[in-house]
Amino acid sequence: EAQVTQNPRYLITVTGKKLTVTCSQNMNHEYMSWYRQDPGLGLRQIYYSMNVEVTDKGDVPEGYKVSRKEKRNFPLILESPSPNQTSLYFCASGRWASGGSNQPQHFGDGTRLSIL
Amino acid sequence: RKEVEQDPGPFNVPEGATVAFNCTYSNSASQSFFWYRQDCRKEPKLLMSVYSSGNEDGRFTAQLNRASQYISLLIRDSKLSDSATYLCVVNGGSSASKIIFGSGTRLSIRP
């Protein structure tokens, strides 16, 4: 079954304690991306990757890191989480067509992070 | 000005009604356009891509107007199950590989 898998689904942690949210896709997609969703603000892109070892900042990258060492995995790292990073996070993947157009994305189920 | 703007709604319409959503985007170089639906606190799911010539999928019709930089979604004969938030998605912004979501339009269908 084609899917994007995020873990954990829920996490409550404390300020400053490093955490990693994993994301894995089994569709051989080139493009992977992380979003956060907050009430009234919609989905905002944090980081994206167009292929292995190619990552770039989205609209809200501050306080986050990513890596793309393998095509299927795109972890999101919060080195020193703060309460303003409490949010619902989605990972997504999709094809990246030559010429600069995105194909539709498939989303993971989401990770609800609470930073106390 | 936001890069992608949608009317937040909510739209509250009776079952069987036709409802239309519009979305405007600011980057004339954008090439990819989509409508997604999102049920409460669930992941967004692709509803349909939007092509230059317009496209239809059952009760749903999407159109793109590049000159005016807006896309639209029309839902005919609405069903209770159409209640959701509809998200307009555009690529571009300062980089063609970035993806910008509108903040969504909430639709509620009443019996």
Q: Percent of chain A having pLDDT more than 90?
A: 83
Q: Which of B28-42, B55-69, B80-94 has maximum average pLDDT?
A: B55-69
- What pLDDT digit, counting tens, does each position of A48-86 carry? 998 999 999 999 999 999 999 999 999 999 999 999 999
Rounded CA gap, A16 and A12, in Å?
12
- Contact criterion met (CB < 8 Å) for B46 and A96: no
Written as six digits, the tokens of A96 are: 């990246």
Alpha-carbon gap: B59 to the closest alpha carbon of chain A (Å): 20
Q: Cβ of B47 under 8 Å from any chain A Cβ?
A: no
Please tell me which of the candidates B46, B97, B103 has its beta carbon nearest to residue A50.
B97
- Contact criterion met (CB < 8 Å) for A40 and B103: yes
Rounded CA gap, B106 and B111, in Å?
17
Chain A interface disruption, residue of B6, B90, B98, B105, most A CBs within 10 A: B98
The DSSP result for A1-55, as a single string, is: ---EEEE-SEEEE-TT--EEEEEEESS--SEEEEEEEETTTEEEEEEEEEETTEE
- Contact criterion met (CB < 8 Å) for B87 and A42: yes
For residue B44, which residues of chain A lie inside 8 Å, CB to CB? 43, 90, 107
Residue A2 confidence (pLDDT):
82
Residue B92 confidence (pLDDT):
73
Written as six digits, the tokens of A60 are: 């809200």
Residue A93 confidence (pLDDT):
94
Residue A69 confidence (pLDDT):
97
Are B62 and B55 spatial neighbours (Cβ–Cβ below 8 Å)? yes
Alpha-carbon gap: B3 to the closest alpha carbon of chain A (Å): 11
Mean pLDDT of chain B: 91
Is A110's pLDDT higher than 60?
Answer: yes
* Per-window interface: B 2-41 vs A, CB < 8 A: 31-32, 34, 41
- What pLDDT digit, counting tens, does each position of B51-86 carry? 888 899 999 999 999 999 999 999 999 999 999 999
Rounded CA gap, A96 and B51, in Å?
17
- Contact criterion met (CB < 8 Å) for A43 and B87: yes
Alpha-carbon gap: B74 to the closest alpha carbon of chain A (Å): 19
Residue A98 confidence (pLDDT):
63
- What pLDDT digit, counting tens, does each position of A11-60 carry? 999 999 999 999 999 999 999 999 999 988 889 999 999 899 999 999 99
Q: Which residue of A has its CA nearest to B91?
A: A102
Residue B87 confidence (pLDDT):
95
